Amino acid sequence: MTVEYIRYRIPAAASARFEADYARAAEQLAVAEQCVDYELSRCEDDAEAYILRIGWTSTADHLAGFRSGEHFPPFLEAIRDYVPHIEEMRHYAPTPVAGRGGSEPTLYDWLGGAAALERLTSAFYTAVLNDELLHPLFEDMDSQHPHFVALWLGEVFGGPESYSAERGDYRHMVSRHLGRQISEQQRRRWVSLLMDAADEVDLPADPSFRAAFASYLEWGTRLAVINSQPGREAYDAPIPKWDWGVMPPYRG
């Protein structure tokens, strides 16, 4: 991914028209497959200063893809009058220095932290061992397995990197599913029982949390099914970091 920044200086009298025209131009960004996201910001300290930030899948995709595609002509037509007002137009590569502030709690903090996850996995695996469909998959599980799953979920939901410290990386997680040939019916039962356990131990029931929670369960269990099929091998990947309404970057 690359980030393009375009700095404008727009006379105050033209600001309303500028924003309206860019809203029209943004309709092309919204449907362009090379565009990741975009945002137009106005300076609070200098009302004539604007910055347009556009995330592109790559610099080449922007210059050779978007600019030669069907969406660029109407985009340019909408903002052509403002080209003379550009003060800077450059591409920037993101660095590893990135993170989130403390204004919004992580899913980990919102659900109650490590203690809540330990209660969740304890209740869940008690149900699993009493479930006719799932018992064969877990009858030989380590007594520490619920604890390790609590650590995994904690790290995924924005908590401490305890799973990485105690158990290893994503490859280790994948290795635990190899050869198990998990069925779709078992996957669905797994998700259902975990959602029931969330109710049982009183995890937050607000729609925003439960939507994010369910989103990860669907994503993670579907990968587990894929990784459990014959011929699959362990592979490296970052441990996913789940957030409110956010998921790992899409890869086709």
pLDDT band at 14 (very low <50, low <70, confident <90, very high): very high
Judgement on whether residues 130 and 180 belong to the same structural domain of the protein: yes
Q: What is the pLDDT of residue 66?
A: 98
Determine the number of helices (DSSP H) and then strands (DSSP E) in the chain.
11, 4
Confidence tier at 251 by pLDDT (50, 70, 90): very low
Domain membership flag for residue 246: no
Structure-token pair, residue 224: 């587990």
Co-location of 85 and 128 in the same domain: no
Rounded Cα gap, residues 117 and 123, in angstroms:
10
15/235 Cα distance (integer angstroms): 51
pLDDT at 7: 98
- Domain extent, residue 175, equals 107-227
Q: What spatial distance separates the first Cα and last Cα of the chain, rounded to whole Å?
A: 15
pLDDT in tens, 130-176: 999 999 999 999 999 999 999 999 999 999 999 999 998 999 999 99
* 2 and 62 Cβ atoms separated by less than 8 Å: yes
**Same domain, yes or no, for 31 and 133?**
no
113 with 188, same domain? yes
User: Per residue in 38-86, pLDDT tens?
Assistant: 999 999 999 999 999 999 999 999 999 999 999 999 999 999 999 999 9
Same domain as 142, residue 46:
no
Residue 6, in any domain of the structure: yes
Domain match, 88 and 124 both: no
Task: Give the model confidence (pLDDT) of 93-132 as tens digits.
Answer: 999 898 778 888 999 999 999 999 999 999 999 999 999 9
Q: Indicate which CATH number applies to the domain containing 190.
A: 1.10.490.10
In-domain check, residue 133: yes
CA gap 111, 34 in Å, rounded: 36
Q: How are strands ordered across the β-sheet holding 2-9?
A: 35-42, 49-56, 2-9, 86-92
115 and 218 share one domain = yes
